[in-house]
Chains A and B, each alone.
Chain A
Amino acid sequence: GESVGLHLPTLSVQEGDNSIINCAYSNSASDYFIWYKQESGKGPQFIIDIRSNMDKRQGQRVTVLLNKTVKHLSLQIAATQPGDSAVYFCAERAGANSKLTFGKGITLSVRP
């Protein structure tokens, strides 16, 4: 069946380094993707999104890259900070009226 998944369950990075969180998706009909951040005890928080007609989008310290050829999505965080420690989820949507399908999540741990 169709699924959205993440390659690694945990990622540990040094404070100040760049982080790259990867996500694979299998639904070729997906047209919209979102990255969420979830801190302990809180609901997921929107970080950045990208439509399928783009391959890159930048926000504040974050960049999302989309490679439709290999069905791969990544989130890059520049100059990772302790406050970036959280679980990150990718989500995809197949069509304007479809629900989001979430990946399993990856934990980002920032070492001081």
Chain B
Amino acid sequence: GAGVSQSPSNKVTEKGKDVELRCDPISGHTALYWYRQSLGQGLEFLIYFQGNSAPDKSGLPSDRFSAERTGGSVSTLTIQRTQQEDSAVYLCASSNPGTGIPLAKNIQYFGAGTRLSVL
């Protein structure tokens, strides 16, 4: 598709269950980002991929959170043993930052997000 696609759009799960959230970035975009947005709050950075590697995992809140990216395209964010405080909208973005170009732009294009509700 033309934009960033995330699935599912909504996910309701029970506390303690594992969930997987999927992101299809814009074709050709080398960078992929995951953010978390709680109700009425800003964007909390989780993890960043350049290709299939993750040079910055600093935002993952605990070891229950993990993410992978395969083929330089699709990414999956996994939350194990979900807790109620994990309830939020999880946003994915992709960009083509032009690595090494000092004044390159890094416009991130966002998907609509996955709304996760942990009961």
Contacts and interface: CB of A to CB of B under 8 A. Distances in A.
B101 interface: yes
Interface stretch (B13-21, B67-75, B105-113): B105-113
Contacts of A93: 106
A32 B43 contact: no
B101 to A, nearest CB: 6
Given A32-B105, A53-B103, A96-B101, A41 B112 contact: yes
A97 interface: yes
Interface of A: 31-32, 34, 36, 41-46, 49, 51, 53, 89, 93, 96-97, 99-105
A44 B106 contact: no
Interface of B: 4, 33, 35, 41-43, 45, 48, 56, 91, 93, 97-113
Contacts of B91: 43-44
B105 A45 contact: no
Contacts, number: 62
A108 to B, nearest CB: 14
B93 to A, nearest CB: 8
Contacts of B93: 43-44
Given A31-B103, A96-B100, A99-B48, A45 B110 contact: yes
Contact of B113 (A34, A43, A89, A103): A43
A89 B41 CA distance: 11
A45 B91 CA distance: 12
A40 to B, nearest CB: 11
Nearest to A44: B110
Contacts of B110: 36, 43-45
B48 A96 contact: no
